[in-house]
Amino acid sequence: MHYQVEPGGRLTGQIQVPGDKSISHRAIMFGSLAQGVTRVQGFLEGEDALSTMNAFRAMGVRIEGPKSGQVVIHGVGMRGLKAPSAPLDLGNSGTSMRLLAGLLSAQTFPASLVGDGSLMRRPMLRVAEPLGLMGARIHTAEKGYPPLDISPVSRLHGIEYELPVASAQVKSALLLAGLYAQGQTVVTEPAMTRDHTERMLQAFGYAVEVAGLRICVRGGGALQSCQIDVPGDISSAAFFMVGATIAKDSDITLTGVGINPSRTGIIDILRLMGADIVVQNHRHSTGEPVADIRVRSSRLHGIRIPLHLVPLAIDEFPAIFVAAANASGQTELYGAAELRVKESDRIQTMADGLSVLGVINQPRSDGILIEGGTYHGGSILTRGDHRIAMAFSMAALTATTPLTILDCANVATSFPGFSEQARLSGLRLRVGDSV
Ligand code: S3P
């Protein structure tokens, strides 16, 4: 499936983006492990979150829905999961695989985790090694790639672990294993990463001690079911924030977006570049801050992206690179080597696509330099990466000729209905089956 996007147009109106992907995964996981029935609203009906849901169904959890974002999970308790009869296929979802690696390390049955072509080439030693220190038995393929074959052990034990990379997935995998481990599991992060696991554990009544970048859980507790309202995903909102900023005469409001401070790097970075973003109507839902975000067109200028904002915007760089291509002067990014091991190598995939459009750029191991200016259209390879497809869709707003964006089916992993929403908001986007 590909997108054909004509240049021009402006973004207007109100948009409710789909539910947060990270929070949707965790709602299924903790709801399944809880005692009692957990009701979820605003669940992301995207393929990644559905992969997590299917994995828990395969382990014997009864889950109703999703129906218009509503899901009902009949929790089985901490020890109630059953052995799956086949390998768990987690599709494109790194979050499902890494968090499940932690959880399944502590079960009394073996499990095998597999995924699509992209997931089967993503690094898993970052979870397998520290889980091994806790006593887990996880076998990876060569180079630390999936499949992950997890064998049961009699008991995990807590560890103190300093994360070598800022990764919420690794942190969460260790905390999940820590729920079952003897003693306490202490994880120290090199920089703040998304803390949805910590917040949601607390919403389910599980004690988590957080002191700065140090997080501690004790094994042996239980989760109590609760009601979860999933906010809109700021990572999905990011594309429209960039689109409305770069397209003249735009004015959009993104309603009910999660603005957890570990996720708002996109707002800070765009504002540093000169964007006009107003965050209003602040509220809370299930321990997460939520607000409406109004974005109007403005002129951007290049910046050197502050290092501390990198982990807080880690999924938003494809969109930020499009903003940089529209800014006057140069934008420089360092300290973002993690982008090379996302759903695609996002530094290279974006650099290649920007070059097709005639945007001067210089990729490097941990970042990129982008020279803003005018650019034309062309044919973009997304490498099956949802966020690359959505970022270049927005780039078309200011291109001088049309863009053809190839291999867009995976947009459904995080943003089902993106093409309809984009068209409704003003993008001249058409979906095609073949080119
Ligand atoms: C996620 C953590 C991040 C992010 C991913 C979702 C999560 O990955 O890129 O989309 O839900 O914990 P890393 O932990 O690899 O940075």
Tell how far the Cα of 364 is from the centroid of ligand 1, in angstroms.
Answer: 22
169 lines ligand 1 (CB under 6 A): yes
pLDDT of residue 435: 53
For the record, the structure tokens of 266 come out as 């996109």
Average pLDDT, rounded, for the chain: 98
d(CA 380, CA 16): 27
- Ligand 1, atom 9: nearest CA belongs to which residue? 315
d(CA 90, CA 102): 15
Q: Candidates 20, 21, 22: which one to mutate for ligand 1, based on the most atoms within 8 Å of Cβ?
A: 22
Which are the contacts of 420, defined by CB distance < 8 A and separation ≥ 6? none
d(CA 101, CA 170): 10
Per the CB < 8 A criterion, the answer to whether 141 and 186 are in contact is no
* φ, ψ at 27 (rounded to 5°): -60, -40
- According to CATH, the topology of domain 2-19+231-432 is UDP-n-acetylglucosamine1-carboxyvinyl-transferase; Chain (3.65.10)
d(CA 252, CA 264): 18
For the record, the structure tokens of 107 come out as 């079960």
Can you give the residue ranges of every domain in the chain?
2-19+231-432, 21-229
Percent of the chain residues past pLDDT 70, beyond the cut:
100
More confident residue, 199 or 435: 199
Which are the contacts of 129, defined by CB distance < 8 A and separation ≥ 6? none
- Ligand 1, atom 16: nearest CA belongs to which residue? 167
267 lines ligand 1 (CB under 6 A): no
21-229 shares the fold of 2-19+231-432: yes
- How buried is 117 (Cβ within 10 angstroms: 0-12 exposed, 13-18 middle, 19+ buried)? exposed
CA angle 373, 376, 378 (to 5 degrees): 135
**Helix, strand, coil % (nearest 5) of the chain?**
35, 30, 40
Nearest atom within ligand 1 for CA of residue 25? 11
d(CA 349, CA 330): 19
Which tens digits make up the pLDDT trace of 128-179?
A: 999 999 999 999 999 999 999 999 999 999 999 999 999 999 999 999 999 9
Nearest atom within ligand 1 for CA of residue 171? 14
For the record, the structure tokens of 137 come out as 């038995």
- Residues 322-344: what's their mean pLDDT? 98
d(CA 143, CA 106): 24
Per the CB < 8 A criterion, the answer to whether 47 and 413 are in contact is yes
Nearest atom within ligand 1 for CA of residue 170? 14
Which tens digits make up the pLDDT trace of 75-105?
A: 999 999 999 999 999 999 999 999 999 999 9
116 lines ligand 1 (CB under 6 A): no
387 lines ligand 1 (CB under 6 A): no
Which tens digits make up the pLDDT trace of 17-61?
A: 999 999 999 999 999 999 999 999 999 999 999 999 999 999 999
Give 433's pLDDT tier (boundaries 50, 70, 90). confident
Tell how far the Cα of 102 is from the centroid of ligand 1, in angstroms.
Answer: 15
195 lines ligand 1 (CB under 6 A): no
Give 326's pLDDT tier (boundaries 50, 70, 90). very high
Give 275's pLDDT tier (boundaries 50, 70, 90). very high
Give 322's pLDDT tier (boundaries 50, 70, 90). very high
- How buried is 172 (Cβ within 10 angstroms: 0-12 exposed, 13-18 middle, 19+ buried)? buried
- Among 20, 195, 315, 385, the active-site one is 315
Q: Establish whether 116 is a catalytic residue.
A: no
d(CA 388, CA 350): 7
Which tens digits make up the pLDDT trace of 206-241?
A: 999 999 999 999 999 999 999 999 999 999 999 999
d(CA 220, CA 179): 6
pLDDT of residue 200: 98
Name which of 156, 103, 95 is nearest 122 in CA terms. Answer: 95
Give 434's pLDDT tier (boundaries 50, 70, 90). low
Name which of 9, 428, 7, 6 is nearest 248 in CA terms. Answer: 9
- What CATH class is the domain 21-229? alpha beta
- Ligand 1, atom 13: nearest CA belongs to which residue? 167
